[in-house]
Chains A and B, each alone.
Chain A
Amino acid sequence: MRQKMRALMLVAPLLIFVVVTFIVPILSMLFRSVENDIVPNTIPGTVVALTEWDGSTGQPPHEDVYRNLYIDLFKAEEAKQHTRLGTRLNYEQTGLSSMFRTTGRSLDDIGELWQDPLEDIDPNFEEGSFWFEMMSGTGGEGFLERRREMLALMSDEDMSGDVGFVPSADMIEMLPWTAQAYTDFAIWAAIRDEDTVSEEDPWESVYGALGMDLTNPDTVSAINSYGGPGASALQAAAANLDQLPQFGFREAFVEEDEDWGSAKVWATIKLYSPSLTPGYFLNSVDMTLTPDGIESKPDNQQVYTTLFTRTLIMALIITASCIVLGYPVAWLLANLPMRTASILMILVLLPFWTSLLVRTSAWKVLLQQQGVINEILVWLGFVNDADRLILMNNATGTVIAMTHILLPFMILPLYSVMKTIPPSYQRAAKSLGATNWTAFWRVYFPQSVPGIGAGSILVFILAIGYYITPEIVGGTDGVFISNRIAYHISSSLNWGLAAALGSILLVVVLGLYWCYDKIVGIDNVKLGG
């Protein structure tokens, strides 16, 4: 036990370092491939309301969904989160990003449709202190905490602290929409903007919410028998309903962007409202989640399966070329006298010590159409000046450069295995009557197979995830899946898709490793000794 503890202590620094800087980030990155919290967190009320909606009718959802959307989007716009949501949904249906952005800019205008007439009816509605007095009370602590939690999830910020406002339980019951909007406003004003709630004019969404409440006849009759703070203003508003807009929020949204009335848009939102989604993975294999189920993407949008197959095939070609080129060199290294072998070994290792970028750039110089190789071939007359070989910006370039770069990873394990094969085996084979070739093929080669296995695993796994070289010499035909992953990480910022592609790559590699273990046996892999 003490021994084990001591051993653990010795590896602890590295272990902690690896876990903190490597394993945890990778796991959290991989988790992004299924994570979809942004939709339920940003528009929580809308997501709940949408569960009632049946998309197959082709009709847009009920007014309630739009009301929730308004309340949700308004605070999301305050937190500048609505564009992120738009970007996320845009992965699934193009056009949604701009729809969210333009609508975000008009949310104030929609609120003012109700704010202006309400303030005309009773100027008290202009006063922040009036609102504060009307909405405050007791019994709404739980409600406050729920709204606070939702805000925190949506904005990704810490929302704890004293709000200086407790909604009144009566108001929550009588004016549910208004209570939601005002509580959100109060929390935001107090915590995020660090203002005093009673001194601030409420958001336009609060007026809109009061408009929503006033469309309910039960609410109107409740207001008429209400006697608490702000009773006269509310009763005045209830008495002058005809001055308020005579349309709902669906019309208001459709007015801003007619796509809000499209059942297809809402189907997409509903499809991606759960907090976990298979969408990224489906995308990675050129499929898509539609309201009708999983479907293949149209042919002209299928990129990832092609890329995956190309990556696998090219990694195999590179591994095979490494075996063909590396085996004789390793054999020579293992069988030459020590002095000569060490000089040769330096030649093998020299590129290994040179910067990857430098080597790849050197290949760029060699391979281009006006490059060294073509010039020599033309000069020798093997190639016509008019049709110089295209060796770069295609798969050929990637294979040539990567074979060279990964060659040491094949030669070194091969060499260390070959070094352990005593020459007496081949002598024995020859004394038993085998020709040089038979002695090599039947006796030497089988014993060097573990080296080939180790080298192949190394080269293949390195090749399958290679990035820099295909990026520089690969052009469009010679890029790997890793280049696409990098693109999604750094340019398109679709990290979920990048994570899904990465996870698939990881699973493929592990699967191949498992197959290799089953067929060749991992015990047969020797890196030396």
Chain B
Amino acid sequence: MADGASNEAFVEFERVQKSYDGESLVVKDLNLTMPKGEFLTMLGPSGSGKTTCLMMLAGFETATHGDIRLGGVSINDIPPHKRGIGMVFQNYALFPHMTIAENLAFPLEVRKMGKAEQEEKVKRALDMVEMGRFGGRRPAQLSGGQQQRVALARALVFEPELVLMDEPLGALDKQLREKMQFEITHLAHQLGITTVYVTHDQTEALTMSDRVAVFDDGRIQQLAPPDKLYEEPENSFVAQFIGENNTLEGVVKEIKGNTCVVQLDGGEVIDAVPVNVSEVGERTRVSIRPERVEYNRDRLHADAHTLKAEVLEFIYMGDIFRTRLRVAGNDEFIIKTRNAPDQVRLTPGTEIEIGWLAEDCRALDAS
């Protein structure tokens, strides 16, 4: 969590539901609390309800049920223009008939601010995003990245306490996107503003956020800081959606405290951490991150459980090696190893033994 963030709730969703047609719910029972100064990302596939949540917060959609509070006050009945929330849109939505400076002055003008003060604030906001020289241009004369910066400056110029961003980097190329990711986080933390960021790009979510809310099917599947989300996914959807993941299917044989025994469909028996399995005999999907799998005997931990594997494909990727194996009947089992001087390069066709720590192996729901 960022410096200066207090634990007092600033943005609250309480049992919020949203339906467009009165039948199917797009957002189902959403509960979310954000402290001031937090950078929270809503991550999910398209149609998962994340943008709807953002639009409800901005005031462009109304919640069918439940309460949305900002600074302790319910904003359900407050029209968007009185909410004082800055917003960056997917296609920037810079007004094409105004210059950059006019675009930035717009929120100040509608707040009836004096001309001199307007000019000063516009200048400061443009300098902040290093666009000071472009005040007289029109949006169409700027590149995508420049427009992005201006859109950001415009959302911040009237000093809102909350800024919403709807996939703001979607239209940029990879390099620029990475640069902007850094700049946006930096700016948000520097100014201490609370930010809700919507994206379907998990790397973006992991690198930028204090916390990530993973959306699927109108619900938050997991709300956690990036490291926790990656290393300790709470269900198979999150495990699959965040990062690369190997899954092995099986049945729970035994549960004792924080370990359980799983018999894989191929007959092998392994240990795992029970995450959301509760009964013996339940089907489960065991998840292991590719980089936590080890095949070098010297490095293998003494307690590590081992399985036989056949090497199918070896891919050299520079900083890492990516090897595809057949493990317990699964042809798509991937391992990633660091390109170190003493690292063995596996040859396709050979039989090896692989292993991992039981705590890296999580038994999740089978769905």
Q: How near does chain A come to B105, taking the closest CB pair, in angstroms?
A: 10
Query: B87–A428 contact, CB under 8 A?
Result: yes
Within 8 A of A (CB), among B82-112: 82-87, 89-91, 93, 95-97, 106-107, 110-111
Query: A434–B96 contact, CB under 8 A?
Result: no
Query: Is residue A430 contacting chain B, with contact meaning CB distance below 8 A?
Result: yes
> 7 other contacts beyond A430-B79, A431-B87, A442-B106, with CB at 8 A cut-off?
A422-B91, A424-B89, A427-B87, A427-B93, A432-B87, A433-B158, A443-B95
Query: B106–A429 contact, CB under 8 A?
Result: yes
Query: Is residue B80 contacting chain A, with contact meaning CB distance below 8 A?
Result: yes
Query: Is residue B292 contacting chain A, with contact meaning CB distance below 8 A?
Result: no
Q: How near does chain B come to A228, taking the closest CB pair, in angstroms?
A: 93
Query: A432–B89 contact, CB under 8 A?
Result: no
Q: Identify whether the interface residues of A are mostly helix, strand, loop, or mixed.
A: helix
Query: Is residue A302 contacting chain B, with contact meaning CB distance below 8 A?
Result: no
Assuming the A-B contacts A432-B107, A433-B81, are A424 and B158 also in contact, with contact meaning beta carbons closer than 8 angstroms in the complex?
no
Within 8 A of A (CB), among B25-79: 58-60, 79
Report the nearest B residue to A445, measured CB to CB: B97
CA distance A50 to B93 in the complex (A): 77
Query: Is residue B154 contacting chain A, with contact meaning CB distance below 8 A?
Result: yes
Assuming the A-B contacts A424-B93, A425-B93, are A431 and B85 also in contact, with contact meaning beta carbons closer than 8 angstroms in the complex?
yes
Query: B158–A425 contact, CB under 8 A?
Result: no
CA distance A104 to B37 in the complex (A): 106
Assuming the A-B contacts A425-B95, A438-B110, are A432 and B90 also in contact, with contact meaning beta carbons closer than 8 angstroms in the complex?
no
Complex interface: chain B residues within 8 A of A431 (CB): 58-59, 80-81, 83, 85-87, 155, 164
CA distance A446 to B154 in the complex (A): 19
Categorize the interface residue count of chain A.
10 to 19
Within 8 A of B (CB), among A427-466: 427-436, 438-439, 442-443, 446-447
Report the nearest B residue to A447, measured CB to CB: B97
Query: A424–B91 contact, CB under 8 A?
Result: yes
Query: B90–A424 contact, CB under 8 A?
Result: yes
Q: How near does chain B come to A14, taking the closest CB pair, in angstroms?
A: 35
CA distance A436 to B91 in the complex (A): 21
CA distance A426 to B164 in the complex (A): 16
Complex interface: chain B residues within 8 A of A425 (CB): 93, 95
Complex interface: chain A residues within 8 A of B85 (CB): 431
What 0/1 readout, one digit per residue, does chain B (134-164) give for beta carbons within 8 Å of chain A?
0000000000000000000011001000001
CA distance A264 to B367 in the complex (A): 110
Query: B81–A435 contact, CB under 8 A?
Result: yes
Q: How near does chain A come to B166, taking the closest CB pair, in angstroms?
A: 9
Nearest 3 A/B pairs, CB to CB = A432-B107, A428-B93, A431-B87
Q: How near does chain B come to A250, taking the closest CB pair, in angstroms?
A: 77
Query: B91–A433 contact, CB under 8 A?
Result: no
Interface centre among A429, A433, A447, by most B CB within 10 Å?
A: A433
Complex interface: chain A residues within 8 A of B154 (CB): 432
Complex interface: chain A residues within 8 A of B164 (CB): 431
Query: B91–A432 contact, CB under 8 A?
Result: no
Within 8 A of A (CB), among B160-189: 164
Report the nearest A residue to B86, measured CB to CB: A431
Q: How near does chain B come to A120, taking the closest CB pair, in angstroms?
A: 96
Give the contacting residue for B96; candidates A430, A433, A447; CB below 8 A.
Answer: A447
Give the contacting residue for A432; candidates B59, B79, B106; CB below 8 A.
Answer: B106
The 11 sampled A-B contact pairs (Cβ below 8 Å) are A427-B80, A427-B87, A428-B95, A429-B106, A430-B59, A431-B81, A432-B107, A432-B158, A433-B81, A433-B158, A447-B96
Chain B contacts to A: CB under 8 angstroms: 58-60, 79-87, 89-91, 93, 95-97, 106-107, 110-111, 154-155, 158, 164
Report the nearest B residue to A431, measured CB to CB: B87
Query: B110–A432 contact, CB under 8 A?
Result: yes
Chain A contacts to B: CB under 8 angstroms: 422, 424-425, 427-436, 438-439, 442-443, 446-447
Assuming the A-B contacts A425-B95, A442-B106, are A433 and B90 also in contact, with contact meaning beta carbons closer than 8 angstroms in the complex?
no
CA distance A443 to B79 in the complex (A): 18
Complex interface: chain B residues within 8 A of A442 (CB): 106
CA distance A424 to B96 in the complex (A): 12
Report the nearest B residue to A444, measured CB to CB: B95
CA distance A438 to B107 in the complex (A): 11
Interface centre among B60, B82, B83, by most A CB within 10 Å?
A: B60
Query: A430–B90 contact, CB under 8 A?
Result: no
Assuming the A-B contacts A422-B93, A424-B93, are A434 and B106 also in contact, with contact meaning beta carbons closer than 8 angstroms in the complex?
yes
Complex interface: chain B residues within 8 A of A443 (CB): 95
CA distance A422 to B94 in the complex (A): 11
Complex interface: chain A residues within 8 A of B106 (CB): 429, 432, 434, 442
Interface centre among B84, B95, B154, by most A CB within 10 Å?
A: B95
CA distance A439 to B164 in the complex (A): 19
Complex interface: chain A residues within 8 A of B90 (CB): 424
Query: B89–A428 contact, CB under 8 A?
Result: yes
Query: B95–A434 contact, CB under 8 A?
Result: no
Complex interface: chain B residues within 8 A of A429 (CB): 95, 106
Complex interface: chain A residues within 8 A of B58 (CB): 427, 431
Complex interface: chain B residues within 8 A of A436 (CB): 81
Complex interface: chain A residues within 8 A of B107 (CB): 432-434
CA distance A442 to B96 in the complex (A): 11
Complex interface: chain B residues within 8 A of A422 (CB): 91, 93
Q: How near does chain A come to B270, taking the closest CB pair, in angstroms?
A: 51
Q: How near does chain B come to A451, taking the closest CB pair, in angstroms?
A: 13
Query: B95–A433 contact, CB under 8 A?
Result: no
Q: How near does chain B come to A318, taking the closest CB pair, in angstroms?
A: 28
Query: A433–B84 contact, CB under 8 A?
Result: yes
CA distance A446 to B95 in the complex (A): 10
Complex interface: chain B residues within 8 A of A446 (CB): 97
CA distance A439 to B81 in the complex (A): 10
Complex interface: chain B residues within 8 A of A435 (CB): 81, 110
Report the nearest A residue to B163, measured CB to CB: A431
CA distance A443 to B97 in the complex (A): 8
Query: B93–A434 contact, CB under 8 A?
Result: no
Report the nearest A residue to B55, measured CB to CB: A427
CA distance A435 to B106 in the complex (A): 12
Complex interface: chain B residues within 8 A of A427 (CB): 58, 60, 80, 87, 89, 93
Q: How near does chain A come to B267, taking the closest CB pair, in angstroms?
A: 56
Complex interface: chain B residues within 8 A of A439 (CB): 81
CA distance A446 to B106 in the complex (A): 14
Interface centre among A424, A428, A431, A447, by most B CB within 10 Å?
A: A431
Query: A434–B87 contact, CB under 8 A?
Result: no
Q: How near does chain A come to B6, taking the closest CB pair, in angstroms?
A: 25
Complex interface: chain A residues within 8 A of B80 (CB): 427, 430-431
Complex interface: chain A residues within 8 A of B87 (CB): 427-428, 431-432
CA distance A446 to B83 in the complex (A): 25
Q: How near does chain B come to A357, taking the closest CB pair, in angstroms?
A: 42
Complex interface: chain A residues within 8 A of B91 (CB): 422, 424
Complex interface: chain A residues within 8 A of B110 (CB): 432-435, 438
Q: How near does chain B come to A443, taking the closest CB pair, in angstroms?
A: 6
Q: How near does chain B come to A337, taking the closest CB pair, in angstroms?
A: 12
CA distance A422 to B91 in the complex (A): 10
CA distance A89 to B293 in the complex (A): 110
CA distance A427 to B90 in the complex (A): 12
Give the contacting residue for A434; candidates B60, B81, B155; CB below 8 A.
Answer: B81
Complex interface: chain A residues within 8 A of B81 (CB): 430-436, 439
CA distance A433 to B106 in the complex (A): 9
Q: How near does chain B come to A522, taking the closest CB pair, in angstroms?
A: 17
Q: How near does chain A come to B13, taking the closest CB pair, in angstroms?
A: 19
Complex interface: chain A residues within 8 A of B155 (CB): 431-432
CA distance A430 to B110 in the complex (A): 10
Q: How near does chain A come to B57, taking the closest CB pair, in angstroms?
A: 11
CA distance A430 to B106 in the complex (A): 11
CA distance A54 to B164 in the complex (A): 91
Q: How near does chain A come to B204, taking the closest CB pair, in angstroms?
A: 20
Report the nearest B residue to A450, measured CB to CB: B97
CA distance A438 to B79 in the complex (A): 14
